[in-house]
Amino acid sequence: MNYFKVLRVSQDGALLRVRLNSPETGNAVTGPVLDELLAVLRSVQDHPGIRVLELSGAGEHFCLGGDRREFAESLAADPTGAGLRAVGNKARQVCEALATLPAVTVARLHGDVIGAGVALAMFCDLRVGADTCRFRLPELALGLPPAWGGILPRLLGEVGAARIRELVLTGDSFDAARAVELSVLHKAVPEAELDAAVDRWARPMLRRSPAALRAAKTMLNAYANTQRLADATLFDAEWLTTVLAASEAARRTT
């Protein structure tokens, strides 16, 4: 199954392992990464035999976030921002697919988890990280809104408004212990025990009725979304593009 260029994908029975596989970039999330993630997730939608999907990263870090160089190159090639909007919309599709996948999604985290990496992890059902993990939401410090993949409402729902307000506005980094306290992680373990931790979660789920597992996940998502009157994440790509284009225009005139 591993015919991808920037992902490493392998299947072990009803468990599918998907690894971000660009360690030289810190597994930065680029257009090609989103394309391959979307292809994998769409294939799992039509594969009832997959009950658990593990998302991890190769190398020193899980994910150092989006590729700002790609953002700048996209705007330079098309100042209207059409290409950047397309990438932003694709990010939203990937995160939505992670959240609504019939299979249970498990994020296996290590090293630094930053920006878009936090988003990919938060849209997984379960999250386990090495006790040496560091997390950060640096968007404001980079001159960007927190508008990647629909991350803000997901964080508000999983963590809570007061705490997320602090993390977004300050951009402060936080460790694995704090991540557990915030529910960004469900558990933190020594890095050598990450595989065992994922296995402890996956083993019982692999024995569950596929129909019951799908129904439970659908119900959990539905009840979690009862307070959302409208899906403002539809505008994330527009906000991201508008702010980036304005910042780039200001840079060129100074």
pLDDT at 239 over 80: no
pLDDT at 42 over 90: yes
207 vs 22, higher pLDDT: 22
14 vs 222, higher pLDDT: 14
pLDDT more than 70, % of the chain: 83
Residue 29 pLDDT class (50, 70, 90 cuts): very high
Q: Provide the mean pLDDT of the chain.
A: 87
Q: What is the mean pLDDT of residues 82-106?
A: 89
Q: Which of 21-30, 45-54, 68-77 comes out lowest in average pLDDT?
A: 68-77
**Contact of 135 with 197, CB cutoff 8 Å:** no
pLDDT at 244: 54
pLDDT at 27: 97
80 vs 166, higher pLDDT: 166
What 46-51 contacts at long range (C-beta under 8 Å, 24+ apart), as own/partner pairs, is 48/102, 48/210, 49/14, 49/210, 50/11, 50/14, 50/15, 50/16, 50/103, 51/14, 51/15, 51/103, 51/104, 51/205, 51/206, 51/208, 51/210, 51/213
Query: Within 10 Å of residue 59's Cβ, how many Cβ atoms?
Result: 16
pLDDT digits (tens, 9 = 90+) for 103-135: 999 999 999 999 999 999 999 999 999 999 999
**Helical (H) or strand (E) element with 10:** strand 7-12
State which CATH number among 3.30.70.1400, 3.90.226.10, 3.40.50.1100, 3.30.420.40 fits the domain covering 7-193+212-252. 3.90.226.10
pLDDT at 74: 65
Rounded CA-CA distance 123/154 in Å is 7
pLDDT at 147: 82
Q: What is the mean pLDDT of residues 147-156?
A: 89
79 vs 170, higher pLDDT: 170
pLDDT at 254: 61
pLDDT more than 90, % of the chain: 62
pLDDT at 166: 94
pLDDT at 69 over 60: yes
Q: What is the mean pLDDT of residues 87-95?
A: 91
pLDDT at 246: 60
Q: Which of 10-14, 136-140, 244-248 comes out lowest in average pLDDT?
A: 244-248
39 vs 77, higher pLDDT: 39
pLDDT at 127: 98
